[in-house]
Amino acid sequence: MQLLVSPSSISEAQCSVAADIIDVKKPSEGSLGANFPWVIREIKTFARKPVSAAIGDFPYKPGGAALAAYGAACAGADYIKIGLAFPGKDHAREVIAAVTKAVKDEFPGKFVVIAGYSDYERMGSISPFDISPVAAACGADYAMVDTGIKDGRSTFSFMDEAALAQFTAGNRKLGLGTALAGSLKFDDIDALKRINPEIIGVRGMVCGGDRNATIREDLVKTALARIR
């Protein structure tokens, strides 16, 4: 299980270098808000770890999603991550196929991460369980669960341990990795170890509990030690 930490700036990224994956995003623009390409590029110069980039909580806009994914890959991201903030399997298939093609045709060594939301019912978006088979069929690499509305409620508030274990096991059968995120806390680590996804994504946990605060290097190291 790898630790992904989501800094919002170059200075926060410098405090996150102990993590397994450094995930560049802009929390002020949403759960999976996209940061600037020059921020991704600068972090890539010193990270010495894989860099992930969120490209947004996307509506049904396959062209815009494909271009954003291509831009993130060009900026140096190793993992390109999109949130599907709309309903419908057919629409999801179009967006996932477009994003995967945009990345894989030009950058075959990079990874595509397709995220759904544990609170999809209140988001009015597609269920993570419906995303996984489509993501696998389109050639994506990971299916992810995050929270769409950041009000302090965690993924475990909407999907219990059994549901998340089912999601993770189902992804493995499909040949997908699993990433779990969404206001995760230190108290969730034991459950996460039992579920055993490939990646857990955190921000608030390493900001002292408030995702709008600043990442603390000591808490990144504590989180890493706790999941090992």
Residue in 37, 108, 24, 102 with CA at minimum distance from that of residue 65: 102
* 150 in active site: no
Residue in 58, 59, 82, 57 with CA at minimum distance from that of residue 69: 82
* 81 in active site: yes
- Among 25, 49, 104, 110, the active-site one is 25
Q: How far apart are the C-alpha atoms of 67 and 218, rounded to whole Å?
A: 36
Q: In the chain, what is the greatest distance between 2 CA atoms, to the nearest angstrom?
A: 44
- Among 44, 81, 104, 110, the active-site one is 81
H or E element in which residue 226 lies: helix 217-227
Please identify every residue annotated as catalytic. 25, 81
